[in-house]
Structure 1
Amino acid sequence: MLNRLLPHQVSINNTSATDGGQTFAGVNFGSVSFAGTESCATVSEEKASRCRNALFLSDPYVDRECLISEKGTRVAGTCEWITQHESYRAWLYGDTPFLWISGGPGRGKTMLSIFLTEELERVVQNVEDANLIFSFCTHKDEKHNTAVAIIRGLVYQIVTHRPKLIKHVLPSFETPEKARQTLSSLDALWVIFRRLVQDIDIGTTFCVIDGLDECDEAALSVLVPKLADIFSLESSQPATRLFKMVVISRDIPGLRGSLQVKLDPDNDERVASDIKLFIASRVAELSRMEGFNDEFVTTVQTSLLERSEGTFLWVGFIMKELSRKRTCTEVLETLGSLPSGLPALYSRMLLQIESKHRAISSVILRWVTMAARPLTLQELAAVVGIRSSNLITAQQAIRDRITLCGLFLKIQGQEVVLVHQSARDYLLRKEPDSDIVLEYFRIKSEEAHLMLAQACLDCLAHSSLQYEPLDLNNESYSQESPLLNYAAFHWPVHAQRSSVLAVQLLGFSKTFFHEDSDLRKNWMPSFNKSVDKKDARGRTALYWASSKGHEAVVRLLIERGANVRVKDKLGLTALYQASSSGHEAVVKLLLEHGADVNARSASKGWTALFEAASNGHKAVVQLLLDCGADVNMKDENGRTPLYQAASRGHEAVAGLLVGHGADINARDNDGQTALFRASSNGDEAVVQLLVNRKANVNVADYFRGMTPLSQAASRGHEGVVSLLLDHGADINAKDSGEWTALDVAAFKGHEEVTGYGFEYACTEFSTVLLCCHSTFSKVGRV
C-alpha cells in the first residue's frame, strides 16, 4: 500500500458564508446560510460549501505553526526514533488502527506530535488516495479544549479532503435549527464522524490528536469510551481499518490496553538522546559570550543533561535564565546553583521571590490555580486591590505583579493562566514542605477554596447588591466592581469545594447569612434570574452544576426553583449528565426532586441508565434502577443498557442489570447481543457472567451471520473460545460466506486458537488457510 504513488496534500481554506438567504452563527464559531432560488446543482454545491464553512473552527496548519512559534522549531535529529519503533511501525504498516503515545509532563509530547504530522505528510505523498488530519488540544483555548471542538475539527478536515463524503453531514444542516444543534453537540457530531470513518470511500486516512488529556475531565469521560468503541469495531467495519489514529497524551486510564508507546520509562534512553540534542542546540545560542569554547560547552551541556531528569520543560526554563546572563562566569555560577527536575526548579522560583513580594505573589498564584475559570487581568487586579494611579494603569501594575511570580504564570490575551499543568501539580502537592517559605506557597485545596469563597462574599458585601438586585451581566457593574460577576456566580462552587470548612463562612459573612439579610435577598433574585436561563445549547446552570458534580450548587439551584426536568436542545437532562459522570450524590438529589428517570436523548435515544451503564458507574445504576429506570429500553440502534455495559467490559454493572431483569438475549439492529460484543472484545469475565446466566451462545448477527464463537476466533481470543465451547457453542456453524470459526481463525493466523479445541473440526480448507497465512507472514517479515 505504501508504495503506491499518488500524492494528496491537505488544503484547508478559511472561508466564510456571507451571501444568500438566512445566516446564523454556529455555537462559538463558524456560520452557515441557506440560499434561495439558484439551480439545483448550484444549490447543492453551495450547501456543501456552507456546510464545511459552518464546521470550520481553525486551520490545523495555522495551529501547528503557532505552536512552532511558541515552542521553537524542532532540533534536527530529535523525535526521529519514533519512526523505527516497533509499535509505531505496527500501527503504520499493519492492521492496527489505533496507537497511544503516553508520557509525563515536560517529556516533549507536543514536539513529537508536530514531528509526526510532518512525517505523515511525507508518507501520504507516497500513498495513493491517502490523507492526513490532525488536532492540537490545549486547555487554554476553547477552540481546542473540548470534545465537541476536536470532533468538529476532524469532521471538517475529512469532508474537505473527501468532498463526496459531505453526504453524511448535509442531513444535519438542512435547517438552521438542525445546524445549530449539530455544531454544539458531541453526540450529533460523533454520529457524523462515525459514519465518515466507516465509509469505504474515506480511503487511507491518518489522524493525529495531541494533548487529549488537556480536555476537561467531563469531556474525556465521554470521548475516550467513544474512541475505544469505534476502534473495537474495526474487524466488522473494514473501512475503519483505513482510518488510523494516534493519540499523544499523559496517562488516560480509558486508553490503557491499546497499542502503546510509553515515553517513560520504556523509552527513557531515546528521550534522553533527544534532550541531549536539544541542549546542544540551545547552548549554542550562548556563543555570543566571550570565552565560549568547547570545554565551556561540554561543561554546560553535561550539567543540564544530568539535572533535567528527562524533561524538555526543565531545560527550557533554565535556558531562559541562562540567556539573560552576559558572561560565561555568570552562566557557570548559575549552573552551580541549579536544582534537578521540575519540582526542584519550581521550588527555586518561589525562593527567588523577594520577601516583600511573597504575600501578594501567594495570593495571585492561589487565585489563578483555584479559580473556577481563567481570570482576566482586570479581575485579578481587583483580587489584590490594585488600582490605576497617575503614573501607571491597573492593568500594567498587575502585569508587573505577575512577572514577580517568576515563570509560573503567563498571559494569554487578557487572561492569566499557569505556564504548564505540572506547575499546578506542584503548587497543590500534598506533602508538607520543611522549608517555611515553600510551605507558605503550598496551596491546601480546601483552605484555598474557603479563602476564595470568603473573598467572593466580601466582594458581594461591598457591592451595590447591598441596596438592590442587579443585572449581573450588565457591563456597567463589572466596571464598578470587576470581580462582582465572578463572585456572585462562583462563590457557591468554592464553598462546596471547601468541604467541612464551609461552615466557617457563616461566621465570616454574617451580613450575607443573617436571617433577614438584605444582601442575600438582593443576591438571590440576581442569581435566580439565571437559574433556568439557557445558553445557546439550551443548557441551564443546573445542567452544568450536575455535570461537574457540584452537589451544594445543585441543591442551591433546586431550592431556588430550578427545573430538574428541563432538556437541552439534544434532549439531555441534568440527571443524564450527572449519571454519565458518576456523580452519585447529585443523581440521588435530582431523583428525590422529581427528575425523569426515563427521559431519552434526542440524538440516539439514550436514558440516564444507558450513560451510567456505559461508563461503569454501578452505584448510579443501582439508584436509577431503584427509581424505576427501564432496564430493557432500546436506543436508536436497538441496543440496551446491558449491551453497552457488556461492550465496555463493566462486569459488575452487567451483573446488576441482569439481576434486575435485563433481557440477556436482546438483539440490536445488526442482530448482535451483549454476548456477541463481549466475545468480540475478548472480555472473559463478562462472557463468563453471560454464559452462566444462560445467554444464547449460537445466535448469529444479521450482517455476516457470525456467532460469538466465530467473532472471538477471528480475533484470537483463546480464553473466550474455550468458554464458549464449554457452554455449547456450535463449532461447525457457518457464516454467510460459508466460513466456520476455525476457517476465520486460520485465515487470520491465530494458531493458538486453531490448536485449541478445534482439532476434531479441522478441515482441508482451514488447513490450507493456516498454511497460506504462515507463508505470507514469513514473506512479509523479509
Structure 2
Amino acid sequence: MEVWKNNGRELCNIADSMWAILGAIAADPTAGDIVCVIDALDECDDVLRNYFVRKLTRLVSGKTQCHVRFVVTSRPYHEIQDIFGELQIDSKSSFLRILGEEESEAISNDIEMVIEHKVFRLSKLNDSAKQSLISRLRKMENKTYLWLYLIWGTIATEASITGRQENLFKVLDKLPDSVGDAYEAILNKSPDRSRTEKLLHIVVGAERPLTTEEINVVMHINVDYTGTQAFRHIPLEDADAYPAILRSLCGLFIRIEGGKVYLIHQTAKEFLVETQSEKRKENFWKHCLQPGTSHRILAEACISYLFLDDFDNDVNKSYWFMICLESIRANRLGCFLDYSASLWTVHYQCAAPFVVPAAVVDFCSPSNRRSFWLHMNTIQPDIDDTANTLKLLLSKMETLPCEFVKTHLAEYASLSSDKVEIVGLILNHPRHPGPILDGKQSPVVFAALNANMKCMELLMNEPHDINKCKAVVTNWDKIDKARRFAVEQRRLAVKQETFTLRNGMLSVDRLRAEDSNSDSDSDLNENENEFSHLIDVEIDALSGGIISANEKIVERLIIDGADINMITELGTPLFVAAALSSKTVVQQLIDKGAQITSFDDEGIEQPSPLVIAAARGDIEIVKVLLKAGARIDEGFAIAHSIIACKGVIKPGFYPSAIEAAKMGRHRRMVRFLQEYKAKNGTAEMEGVGNVMKPGKI
C-alpha cells in the first residue's frame, strides 16, 4: 500500500491514516461481516476518546455502506453516555446499548466461572482443597476481574509451595478485600517510597504514555537552568535493565507494553490522585499524588532537558535544523526531545508558581536553544493552551526586541492553523521601535504561504512595504522524513556546484550541459532529482499567497500594493501561478495587469507562464494564457526545485510549450497545442532563449 510505503512502521501512530484504512475495509463489500471489539473506552484520554467516538460515528453514518459492526465496552460514566446519546440523535446508524450495570449478578457469575477455571489449574492442590478454595473466594465481597488479577499471583505462589489447605487459608485471610486494598498492598512492597512516588507522579502526570527511556531521563536529570548541564552528566540507568528496575519499584501497579509505561488500570489513577473531597493521609498510598506536583516534576525535567548544553547549536537554518533533529533522534540524547519540546508549555502552565520565572524568560529569549523548541512546535503544532502559556511568558517579560517579535511572529504565522490570537498577543506587547514585517523572514510571507488570512490581516495593520516583505523557504516535500538526514549529510560532503553567471548571462547550451551532468550522482538524484529539493529560495509575499492557491489571500496582497510583475528567484507571479496555483488565480493576475511576457532591467526575457503550464499539463490554465495573448512558439521555462515539489513538473529546462508537454508526457496537451498552432498559423520564433536569467535547478 502507498500509505505504508510513505510511513513504514510509523503508520500505526498516524491516526487519520489508520482510520482511512479502516474506512476502506469497512466499505469493501467483499470483506464480509467484520466485528470490532473496543474494550474499556472509559480508560481512554478524554480528548482522544471524543476523537475516537466522532471518527467511529462518521464511519458508520457515512454515505457508503459500512460492513463493520462495533462492540464497545465502558463503565457507565455520564460523559460517555452523553457523547453516544448526542451522536445517536444525529446519526442514521443504529446504536444499541446493553446496560451492564443492571447485570451485576450475571457479571458475578462470570467471575466465579473464571475463579473455578483458575483454581482447577492449580496442580498441587487436591480436589478437596480446590473446592474449599473456590468456596472461600466466592464468598468474598467486591469481586471484580481486576481484584482477581491482583490477588491471583499471591494465591498461585502459595499453592505452588504447599498443597496444605490450612496454609492456603492463612494466606486467604490476609488477602485484600477490595481493589483499593490490593493497590495499597502492592505499593507497600516498594523498596524506596520516594523514588516510587516520583515515578508515579511522572506516569500519572504525563500527557501521553512515556517510554522507559523518557522516564529514565525525567527520573534522573538535575533541575538546572544554567545551560551548563550536558546529557552525559545525567546519571541514567542502563536502558536494557531499566524496565526491570521500574517493575521492582511498582510491581503490578504498572505494565510495560511496546517500551511504554502504563498504569495497570484507570482505577489506579483514581486511587492515586488527590481530589478536593479526598485528601492524602499520612503513610497511605491512596490520594498521595497532587496534580500540581506532578506537573512541576515534568515541567522542571522538560525545561532542564531543553537547557542542556547539547542543544546550544545554530539551528536557525531549516535544513540545518532537520540535520540536527535527525542526528539527535538517532542517538540516546534525543529520547526525550519530542515530548519536552512539544509539551513543556502544558506542564509549565500548570506549575508556573514552582518554576523560576527568570529561567523561563531566558529560555524563551532569542537563542539557539529557543530556536530548537520553537522549530519542534512548528513541526508538531497541536499544543493545547499555547495562547494561555504565552500570556504567562509575556507577563514575565518587559519590552521585547524587534528581532524577538519578528522571529516569534514568523514561527506562529508558519503553522498550518491560523494562530491569530497568539499573533495578537505578541503584537500588543510593548516592543522596541523598528520594522517587524519588512526584510528577510517576514511574518507576512509565512502567513500568506500558509493561507492564514486572519493572521495576515492582523500583521498588515503594522507599518510595512509589502514588496519588501521577503522570506527564504526550503522545500522538503519530495524527500520522505526518514531520508532527509542521510541525503543532507551527503549533500554537505559533496562540493556543491551551482549555476553561476558568466558576464551576467548563461547560454542555453551550457545550461543543458550542466543540467545533464547534475544527474551523475544517482543516489542524490533519484526520485525526481531529490538533490535539487534541498535548495533554499527567497520568495515575496505575493508568491507565497499564489503558492497557497488562496484567491482571497492573493486579492488582499494586490490591494495592499503587491507588484504583480515583480521578478523573483522563482520568476514572475504569473509564472508561479501557472506552475503551482489554480486557473482562477492565473485569471485573477491577468485581470489585474500581469504581463504574459516579462523582461528584467537588463532586457533578459523571463521564464514563460505558458511553457511551465504546458509542462504541468494543465490545459485550462494554458487556454487562459493563450486567450490573454501568449504565443505557443515563444518563451522557455526553468523549473526551480520548489516549482517541482508537487511531483508533476520535473526540475529542469523546458525550451518551448510543445516540448515541455512532450517532456512531461502530457499527450492531450501536446495534441491540443499542435492543433491550436495549426489552426492559428503561429510562426516559429527565431533564436528563442539564447540568453536568459539563470535559475536554480
TM-score, reference length from structure 2: 0.47
Q: Report the structure number with the largest CA radius of gyration.
A: 2
TM-score, reference length from structure 1: 0.42
